[in-house]
Structure 1
Amino acid sequence: MWRTFPLIGLVVAMPATAQTLTPMIDARLRTERVEQDGLPLDGEAVTLRLRAGVQASEGPLTALVEAQGNLSLAGRYEDGLSGSAARPLIADPENIAIHRAQLALKLPGVTLTAGRQRITLDDERFVGAVGFRQNGQSFDAVRAEVTPVKGVKADLSYVWSVRTIWGVDGTGARQRAVGGDTVFANLSWASPIGTLTGFGYWADQDEAAVQGFRLSSRTFGVRLAGARTLGKAKLAWQLSHARQSEFGRNPNDYAAHYWLADLSVDLDGPRLGAGYEVLGADDGRPFTSFQTPLATGFKFQGWADKYLATPPDGLRDLYLSAGWSWKAVGPAKAVALQAAWHRYESDRLTRHYGDELNLLASAKLGRTTASVRFADYRADGFATDTRKYWLQLDWTL
């Protein structure tokens, strides 16, 4: 079986004869502040994340190694591993680790990748890199991407370890890595009305400390995502359905369903969107609702992070969004404003959980992207009122 660290030697040795050598550097400076009802103190973190690495290519072979470090510069917060329980969670613990170390072989119609790598599938609803958090998520895996004919793609991964956002000091329910025998399988076809994808995910969480194996599941589903240009307007749509049940050593016996309908329109500046997402419930026992532990959760159901684990009675999310973007405003490029509103309800017994407002402003100046975010969660039947503020600078070589 492949393991990651022997690959680092290949990555380091390869540049001596490589035809192409590409450095990779990106840095992120962020201030995050959280005010949460029910806790006596607020949380505030100023963190600096740096990733640096090198990619070497020789013919069809590419080797890559990338390290990452996250440093707390100021503030007082609960980072998930240390800090005061009187403060809200800001899940960015200090960390120094190998984020990626992979070897890839690219041939006509086939790409094979082995080692520690980022894997993002479709919209990252089920498998993602958790890019918003400073440490991110990567996978020790082998992956095959095959395009047998134009418009058809098969994507198959075997994962033996998930490297979590908790970093090298992760412990208990927040392990630095979760082992298991996990398989991701996607088969997609570029149809005339959008990309149609069938998928099967067998997620094996082989750590008793992580919810007693109750996040192990098998998920089968189908997704359609497409877009069409109508004059100056661009219309985009997503439809998805999946069914999930227990897998491996999961002691629960359950079945839960997932539904998504999403529609957006870009009017060459103004943007409008609406959607409805359902993570269904079985009978109300903990972890018998539809779970997505390997997803990029920040992208879905609001930025306040109240629903990273689906409640026992499931979740229905009705959301509306509006925004405006400009290619340039003076020296700033890709200027954008965005607002989104969410209404959350349970799937089982249909109770109102709460509402959330999300606001974002971003712009790019040279290699630096600046963004300001705000999330305001107003609780009704689930969790507590929470407000989050972010100021972030991203720089990429």
Structure 2
Amino acid sequence: MNANPQPRLRQVSMAILLAALSTPALAEEELLPEYTFMDAIKTGKNMTSFRLRYEYVQQDGLQPNNLSNAANSLNPTRAEDIKDANALTLRSLIGWQTAPFHNWSIAAQLINVSKLDDDFNDGTNGFRTNGASNQNNRIAYAKVVDPDHTDINQLYVDWTGIKNTRVRAGRQQVNLDNVRFIGDIAFRQVMQVFDGVSVFNKTIPDTELFVAHFEKVNQIFTTERNGNLEIINARYRLSPTEFLVGYGYLSAFDNLGMGNAWFGTGAANLAADQSNKTFGIRLDGTHPFTPNYRAHYTAEYAKQSDYKGGDDRIDAHYYKLGGGFGIDNFNVRIDQELLSSNKNQFAFQTPFGTNHLFQGWVDKFLVTPRAGIKDSFVTATYRYGDVVFFADYHVLASDEDFYTVNGGASRTGNRYGTEWNAAMTWNVDKNWMTKLEYGKFSEDDHFAAAANTTSNAAGTRGRIRDTEKLWLTAMYTF
């Protein structure tokens, strides 16, 4: 007599049922497509934006009058008032970065800057990019440094094969801290980018380390400069909004196109080696006391000296001290920034920084005058919904007294002037941004490049003239 077959039948039925249920899962797993490089491209990051800007500049004073009328009809042989600038330009950035594929990703970005209205002097003149450079056929106009330009803006490869580390090789944007020393000058239509290798590491808890070696800088004048720039920047997070930073920037660029402005007039100064090293420390942050009340503070010091054959006059220091408070959507602070002078021979320089953001937006001090700068200023911001209001006021003095126009060898001064700026930014949505900005610089003592400068001499071009600027910007970012 056979045993009851039902238990065994139930076992076989259960096995068949489990097999049937598991088969689709196994088949689905086997048919799952492999993640390919094309998938990495499709799931990458857009690096595309379009920025339309109108800039108006009204500047007192006379245009340079030492160019022959034969050069261009806009180069009169007699001195005339500088014409107001009206610049309408469009910057197109078109690019894409792939998602990581076997720890590698590639980024490429093209740039085109087009002049839609070119009643302005874009500041270029061949390979001359010092403070006296001019676009010869627009010398009658005030400057707006937004030349026509088409090029590769960024092209780099990222490798992330080591945990908490990114290695980037190629042409790249770099913005460190408050971009005082290293920045992409993104306010201008042509950006500053660097060619070389950088490493970003977050292995140490609460610490970010950035080191880089760059061999070329592409300036906003569209000029490429060759040399060596070594960067080390270590940032320790004291809290989510407070940081302690130590940095070193070693520049072996003997010519950044700024020799005349750094060291004074004369052929010898134009050829002076600009290589320098800068070491500093920065404490900066916002400390919240309640969800609605907070304190802001900054304390920073840096020393700059000659490096690898740099001119021995390069010897100056820098500090920034300030603080303030915030209540709800309102913030206010008072600061003082000093870029010191070495006995009127050289002043502390930041040639790789986004200098437009400092000493006012009118850009009278993109290069520090040899007498140095002491900038005391107050800043206020207020956010209302998607609109941000900004205003600041600067009192700009020198570190060392400077010669003044019509003052002879003995007349000196120490007040460059004052500047105030105001802006309203409207973030329309995640893609659209519009901005209205205004700045006005008013001169005090009439700065002269040398003693015995008269108001009709070529040296008056050293004066820091009264200037007003207005910007209207619309930007779409993908």
Q: Please indicate, yes or no, whether the TM-score normalized by the shorter chain is above 0.5.
A: yes
The one of 34, 43, 51 aligned to 2:57: 34
1:248-296 alpha-carbon deviations (Å, 9 max, x no partner): 33233331010001323221222212100000011112xx110001000
1:320-361 alpha-carbon deviations (Å, 9 max, x no partner): 12232112xxxxxx2011110000000123711100010101
Q: Residues 208 and 71 from structure 1, CA distance in 2 versus in 1: closer, same or farther, beyond 3 angstroms?
A: closer
SS at match of 1:348: strand
Q: Is the 8 A contact 2:255 2:274 kept in 1?
A: no
Question: Does 2:40 correspond to 1:18?
Answer: yes
User: 1:103, 1:309 → 2: CA distance?
Assistant: 33
Q: Which amino acid aligns with 1:64?
A: A
Residue 221 of structure 1: aligned partner = 280
User: 1:239, 1:78 → 2: CA distance?
Assistant: 38
Residue 61 of structure 1: aligned partner = 104
Q: Is the 8 A contact 2:254 2:273 kept in 1?
A: no
User: 1:282, 1:209 → 2: CA distance?
Assistant: 21
User: 1:93, 1:213 → 2: CA distance?
Assistant: 27
Shift of 1:96: 0.3
Shift of 1:214: 4.1
The one of 232, 246, 269 aligned to 1:198: 246
Q: Which amino acid aligns with 1:378?
A: S
Residue 352 of structure 1: aligned partner = 415
Q: Residues 24 and 209 from structure 1, CA distance in 2 versus in 1: closer, same or farther, beyond 3 angstroms?
A: closer
Q: Map 1:186-335 to 2 at 5 A.
A: 186-191=233-238, 194-207=242-255, 210-211=258-259, 212-231=271-290, 232-285=292-345, 288-327=346-385, 334-335=386-387
User: 1:15, 1:262 → 2: CA distance?
Assistant: 50
Residue 154 of structure 2: aligned partner = 100
Residue 7 of structure 1: aligned partner = none
Shift of 1:209: 5.2
Q: Residues 208 and 111 from structure 1, CA distance in 2 versus in 1: closer, same or farther, beyond 3 angstroms?
A: closer
Q: Which amino acid aligns with 1:44?
A: N
SS at match of 1:16: helix
User: 1:197, 1:385 → 2: CA distance?
Assistant: 37
Residue 373 of structure 1: aligned partner = 437
Instruction: Please identify, of 372-381 and 142-151, the stretch whose mean Cα deviation from structure 2 is larger.
Output: 142-151
Shift of 1:390: 0.6
Question: Does 2:196 correspond to 1:141?
Answer: yes
SS at match of 2:368: coil
Q: Which amino acid aligns with 2:175?
A: T
Instruction: Give me the identity figure in percent.
Output: 27
Residue 91 of structure 1: aligned partner = 145
Q: Is the 8 A contact 1:205 1:213 kept in 2?
A: no
Q: Report which of the two structures shows the higher radius of gyration computed on alpha carbons.
A: 2
SS at match of 1:346: strand
Shift of 1:204: 1.9
SS at match of 2:154: strand
Q: Which amino acid aligns with 1:390?
A: W
RMSD over aligned Cα, in angstroms? 1.8
User: 2:257, 2:477 → 1: CA distance?
Assistant: 37
Residue 337 of structure 1: aligned partner = 389
Shift of 1:307: 0.6
User: 1:194, 1:109 → 2: CA distance?
Assistant: 21
Q: Map 1:43-192 to 2 at 5 A.
A: 43-57=85-99, 58-81=101-124, 82=135, 83-106=137-160, 107-167=162-222, 176-191=223-238
Q: Residues 270 and 209 from structure 1, CA distance in 2 versus in 1: closer, same or farther, beyond 3 angstroms?
A: closer
Shift of 1:208: 7.6
Q: Which amino acid aligns with 1:305?
A: D
Instruction: Please identify, of 244-253 and 104-113, the stretch whose mean Cα deviation from structure 2 is larger.
Output: 244-253
User: 1:240, 1:394 → 2: CA distance?
Assistant: 33
Q: Is the 8 A contact 2:392 2:421 kept in 1?
A: yes
Shift of 1:17: 5.7
Q: Is the 8 A contact 1:215 1:291 kept in 2?
A: no
Structure 1 stretches of 4+ with a deviation exceeding 4 A read none
User: 2:37, 2:196 → 1: CA distance?
Assistant: 23
User: 1:205, 1:22 → 2: CA distance?
Assistant: 33
Q: Scaled by the length of structure 1, what TM-score is found?
A: 0.89
Residue 331 of structure 1: aligned partner = none
User: 1:233, 1:135 → 2: CA distance?
Assistant: 39
Q: Residues 354 and 208 from structure 1, CA distance in 2 versus in 1: closer, same or farther, beyond 3 angstroms?
A: closer
User: 1:213, 1:162 → 2: CA distance?
Assistant: 19
Query: Which structure carries more strand by proportion?
Result: 1
SS at match of 1:125: coil
Q: Which amino acid aligns with 2:94?
A: A
Query: Which structure carries more helix by proportion?
Result: 2
User: 2:46, 2:53 → 1: CA distance?
Assistant: 23
Shift of 1:210: 4.8
1:233-257 alpha-carbon deviations (Å, 9 max, x no partner): 2322211000001123323333101
User: 2:147, 2:389 → 1: CA distance?
Assistant: 30
Q: Scaled by the length of structure 2, what TM-score is found?
A: 0.74
Q: Is the 8 A contact 1:213 1:249 kept in 2?
A: no
User: 1:71, 1:337 → 2: CA distance?
Assistant: 29
Paired residues in the alignment total: 368
User: 2:211, 2:397 → 1: CA distance?
Assistant: 35
Residue 455 of structure 2: aligned partner = none
User: 2:272, 2:184 → 1: CA distance?
Assistant: 22
